[in-house]
């Protein structure tokens, strides 16, 4: 059980950063800061400026630039390095265990020529094979982005699908239950359309094309629509997917609500109906995640979490709830620190409680 948990954590923390809660600052779409329409990955120049002006507690002149401004990039080129380390401690009634994990060490680049942008990344991946840790080279993202019109983007290649809040918090119940963890980037064709306060994403997912570094085995179609008003964002996402054993439908709403300047609530709730192809057996259930945030000081954000899930209403063992408290801090450009305590109530067997403490340090160049 404990080994399974650590493997889950190892493959459930996102390798790139995107913060959809930036909508409370007036930025409705991820592409305001990122090259990628769905966020995450390499920042554009404006995104680097915002990382200092709106996100970080402190920042000096040019500190937000690539390599702190020591390395100049050519026009139309964006470069970014990623490093992430996780320290985690897990306690159940029978087991205590701690571990430090190097989550990521990647470099990503983009090049834009007129309406065409090329993006690619290289890095390392840790896999557990037959009980041993193996380090593999990986390209988590490589794609072509075309902008035929100012409000239309077309993208094809390897990247993460746009679905729900699309946050970097992949240890959440929603992300884990829906199998949207680390290294689940797939080969996709995506269309995104922007119209005043609405944004629509339509994606065809073709699986991993036998890419051994991708754990995305599902082929799917997804649709997401979001509406932005008065620094609030609400949306609805749908997925129909199939793999060798199952087919599933996933549907649900999500939102980011800012009640005042510093307080905001992020929530997503999804219903899933998964059907086994061979037997026809159906597992219907739900998964939900809520995070309540208060920016006490610029870049310093304490938060509370509540999560609930029962991915199969007929199986008590799939039921679980979680309460948590934590703090997220962006002290300076290039840095994010986050610490969390979480108590889970699990209904496996006779049921038990589990305590998890984790601390994560993120650095981007």
Tens digits of residue pLDDT in 121-141: 999 887 777 777 888 899 999
Domain range for 334 is 2-107+161-364
**Helix, strand, coil percentages, rounded to 5, for the chain:** 10, 55, 35
Question: Is 145 part of a structural domain of the chain?
Answer: no
Report the range out of 13-22, 222-231, 245-254, 353-362 with the highest average pLDDT.
Answer: 245-254
Residue 155 covered by a domain: no
pLDDT at residue 323 tops 90:
yes
125 domain-assigned: no
The model's confidence at residue 226, banded by pLDDT at 50, 70 and 90, is very high
Q: What are phi and psi of 2, to 5 degrees?
A: -65, -40
Q: Quote the number of domains for the chain.
A: 1
223 neighbors 204 (Cβ within 8 angstroms): no
Mean pLDDT, residues 299-328: 96
Quick check: is 144 in a domain?
no
Q: Residue 132 domain-assigned?
A: no
Query: What is the Cα–Cα distance from 7 to 111, expressed in whole angstroms?
Result: 35
Beta bridge partners of 263: 294
Which CATH number covers residue 165? 2.40.160
Q: Give the mean model confidence (pLDDT) for residues 99-114.
A: 90
Assess if residue 245 is contained within a domain: yes
Asked if residue 129 belongs to a domain, the reply is no
Among 263, 289, 283, which residue's Cα sits nearest to residue 344? 289
Is residue 121 domain-resident? no
């Amino acid at each position: 059980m404990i080994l399974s948990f650590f493997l889950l954590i190892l493959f459930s923390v996102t390798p790139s950063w995107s913060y959809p809660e930036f909508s409370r600052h007036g930025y409705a779409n991820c592409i305001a800061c990122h090259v990628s329409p769905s966020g995450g990955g390499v920042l554009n120049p404006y995104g680097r400026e915002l990382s200092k002006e709106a996100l970080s507690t402190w920042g000096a002149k040019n500190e937000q630039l690539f390599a702190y401004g020591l390395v100049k990039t050519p026009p139309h080129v964006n470069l970014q390095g990623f490093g992430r380390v996780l320290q985690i401690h897990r306690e159940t009634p029978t087991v205590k265990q701690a571990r430090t994990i190097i989550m990521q060490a990647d470099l990503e680049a983009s090049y834009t020529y007129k309406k065409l942008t090329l993006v690619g990344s290289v890095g390392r991946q840790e896999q557990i094979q037959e009980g041993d840790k193996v380090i593999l080279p990986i390209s988590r993202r490589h794609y072509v982005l075309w902008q035929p019109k100012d409000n239309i983007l077309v993208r094809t290649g390897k990247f993460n699908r746009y679905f729900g809040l699309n946050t970097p918090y992949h240890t959440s119940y929603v992300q884990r239950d829906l199998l949207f963890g680390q290294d689940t980037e797939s080969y996709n064709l995506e269309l995104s359309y922007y119209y005043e306060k609405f944004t629509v994403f339509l994606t065809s997912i073709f699986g991993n094309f036998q890419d051994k570094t991708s754990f995305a085995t599902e082929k799917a179609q997804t649709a997401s629509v979001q509406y932005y008003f008065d620094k609030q964002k609400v949306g609805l996402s749908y997925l129909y997917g199939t793999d060798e054993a199952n087919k599933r439908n996933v549907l649900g709403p999500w939102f980011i609500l800012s009640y005042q300047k510093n307080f905001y609530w992020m929530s997503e709730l999804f219903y899933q109906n998964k059907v086994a192809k061979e037997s026809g057996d159906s597992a219907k259930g739900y998964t939900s995640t809520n995070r309540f945030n208060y920016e006490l000081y610029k870049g310093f954000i304490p938060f509370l979490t509540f999560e609930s899930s029962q991915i199969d209403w007929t199986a008590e063992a799939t039921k679980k709830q979680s309460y948590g408290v934590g703090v997220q801090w962006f002290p300076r450009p290039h840095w994010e620190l986050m610490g969390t305590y979480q108590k889970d109530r699990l209904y496996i067997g006779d049921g038990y409680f589990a305590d998890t403490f984790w601390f994560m340090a993120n650095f981007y160049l």
